Amino acid sequence: MSERAMGEPECWAGIAWTADGYEAVVVDRAGRPVAVPTRWGAARVAELAAWLHRIGAGRGRELAVVLDSTNGLLDGPLTAAGLDVRRADPWTLPQRPAFGSVSAAALADCARRAPASPARLTPESGSLAGREAEFETGVADGAELRAALTAAGRCVEHGRRDRRQVALTFDDGPDPVLTRQILAVLARHGARATFFCVGHHVAALPEEVRRITEAGHELGNHSWSHPFLPDLTPAQLCEQIDRTAEAIARVTGREPSRFRPPYGSQTPEVLATLAGQRTTVTLWDVDSRDWARPGAERIATTVLEAVRPGSVVLLHEGAGDRRQTVLALPAVLAGLADRGLEPVTLTELLAPDPPLTAPAPALTPVAMPVPVPGPVSR
Ligand SMILES: [Zn+2]
């Protein structure tokens, strides 16, 4: 079998993101349109996947979807739906606009002209397939600046180890189905949590965002489109943060004070840009690895084996098939209760004035406002 027959699809669906949602253009190997270009709201990803399947199935066409590296929201749900998804990187693409990805037509065209170039993504590989080493190098290079930000109270990975509290955090939402389910489980256990939402979903699902805050949980900023941050210019990164903060404030009346970088990207350049923003970089010390869908039992075990007082636990609610996370949640909450660990919001976890019997260590002065208990901007 030739390489072409093995790896090259019959048609390419370029999917772009814009401020309003997604646009899709499908062309065949010769660049001829296969379908009328369509637009999709960010909450209609299941319908988008069904539409792509219909085009792929029509007349026996083999279809591949191509996204760019500034879109980390679609590869999860589309690969989970069984579609062939590839990621095109900036050096293969024309220049992006200040806010938005490369156009759908340009994505489809670039993939069609150089079919071997986009990286194939699977649910197991995650969005950064083939760029893992670059990611790790960026994290290592950012260590010094991260330490400086941490010392200044502008970057946190966990809370104090001498309080029996932990923070569960749910990223990539809100989600049209799962947000409500997660809120119901948290309510049953009397637990509070923090939701790092993406602006693209916030704008499409304001009602779900409202539900989160009305239930007493917190909101954080997780960018607009879940990009691989090192691929953005500083201005593009600031645009992602600002637009998401505005979208959240339109629903809740308050801008969130925390930013979680997608994938935990923390190169010196990314951290330098974040240092100039009015936000606290919020990472985690316990990774549930729920995105890899290892089974609900495994997710709960991973969390409970690693969690300790002060932990910040990374979980997901959107941008993929997160049903296992919802199924794991009751066991996680029961396990925390067994260990005497109270799930609280990040503001509560990081509150500087601990109600303790033991003497508190001296607090490091901070350069920027840090969250305090009460109605801070969330
Ligand atoms: Zn994320």
Mean pLDDT computed over every residue of the chain: 92
Percent of the chain's residues with pLDDT above 70: 91
Backbone angles phi, psi at 66, to 5 degrees: -120, 130
For residue 194, the model assigns a pLDDT of 98
For the segment 329-358, the average pLDDT, to the nearest whole number, is: 89
Do the beta carbons of residue 149 and residue 271 sit within 8 Å? yes
Provide the annotated active-site residues.
171, 316
From ligand 1's centre to the CA of 262, what distance in Å?
5
- 3-state SS string over 25-72? EEEECCCCECCCCEEECCCCHHHHHHHHHHHHHHHHCCEEEEEECCCC
54/52 Cα distance (integer angstroms): 5
Say whether pLDDT at 375 is over 90.
no
Strand, coil or helix: what is 14? strand
Do the beta carbons of residue 266 and residue 154 sit within 8 Å? no
pLDDT class of 306 with cuts at 50, 70, 90? very high
CB atoms within 5 A of ion ligand 1 belong to 171-172, 262
For residue 373, the model assigns a pLDDT of 42
In the chain, which residue ranges form alpha helices assigned H by DSSP? 3-7, 45-57, 75-80, 104-113, 132-141, 143-151, 178-188, 199-204, 206-214, 234-252, 268-275, 296-306, 323-338, 346-349
Strand, coil or helix: what is 255? coil
Separation in Å, CA 44 to CA 200, 311, 347:
12, 34, 33
pLDDT class of 363 with cuts at 50, 70, 90? low
For residue 372, the model assigns a pLDDT of 40
Of 63-77, 263-277, 363-377, the poorest mean pLDDT is in: 363-377
For residue 364, the model assigns a pLDDT of 53
From ligand 1's centre to the CA of 85, what distance in Å?
18
From ligand 1's centre to the CA of 72, what distance in Å?
8
From ligand 1's centre to the CA of 264, what distance in Å?
8
From ligand 1's centre to the CA of 352, what distance in Å?
27
* Tens of pLDDT, residues 96-126: 999 999 999 999 999 999 999 999 999 888 8
* Tens of pLDDT, residues 171-218: 999 999 999 999 999 999 999 999 999 999 999 999 999 999 999 999
312/165 Cα distance (integer angstroms): 9
Start and end residues for every CATH 3.30.420.10 domain found in the chain: 3-121
For residue 3, the model assigns a pLDDT of 41
67/83 Cα distance (integer angstroms): 12
From ligand 1's centre to the CA of 28, what distance in Å?
32
Q: Which residues contact 106 (CB under 8 A, 6 or more apart)?
A: 14, 93, 94
Start and end residues for every CATH 3.20.20.370 domain found in the chain: 143-349
Q: Which residues contact 241 (CB under 8 A, 6 or more apart)?
A: 221, 223, 259, 277, 279
Cα 267 from chain centroid (whole Å)? 17
Q: Which of the two residues, 332 and 370, has the higher pLDDT score?
A: 332
78/73 Cα distance (integer angstroms): 9
b (16+ CB within 10 A) / e for 291-322 = bebbebebbbbbbbeebebbbbbbbbbbbbbb
* Tens of pLDDT, residues 234-268: 999 999 999 999 999 999 999 999 999 999 999 99
For residue 61, the model assigns a pLDDT of 73
Q: Which residues pair with 219 in a beta bridge?
A: 195
Q: Which residues contact 27 (CB under 8 A, 6 or more apart)?
A: 11, 12, 14, 33, 34, 105, 108, 109, 112
From ligand 1's centre to the CA of 14, what distance in Å?
22
The pTM (predicted TM-score) of the whole model is 0.90
For residue 357, the model assigns a pLDDT of 60
Longest CA–CA separation in the chain, Å = 73
For residue 352, the model assigns a pLDDT of 84
For residue 358, the model assigns a pLDDT of 58
Tell me the fold of 3-121: Nucleotidyltransferase; domain 5 (3.30.420)
CA–CA–CA angle 70, 252, 202 (5° rounding)? 25
pLDDT class of 57 with cuts at 50, 70, 90? confident
For residue 376, the model assigns a pLDDT of 34
77/82 Cα distance (integer angstroms): 9
280/346 Cα distance (integer angstroms): 11
- How many other β-carbons are positioned within 10 Å of the β-carbon of residue 216? 13
From ligand 1's centre to the CA of 141, what distance in Å?
21
From ligand 1's centre to the CA of 47, what distance in Å?
22
Q: Which of the two residues, 219 and 61, has the higher pLDDT score?
A: 219
pLDDT class of 371 with cuts at 50, 70, 90? very low
Say whether pLDDT at 21 is over 70.
yes
> Which CATH superfamily, name and number, covers 143-349?
Glycoside hydrolase/deacetylase (3.20.20.370)
From ligand 1's centre to the CA of 2, what distance in Å?
37
For the segment 316-326, the average pLDDT, to the nearest whole number, is: 93
Burial of 248 (0-12, 13-18, 19+ CB in 10 A): buried
For the segment 315-329, the average pLDDT, to the nearest whole number, is: 95
Strand, coil or helix: what is 314? strand
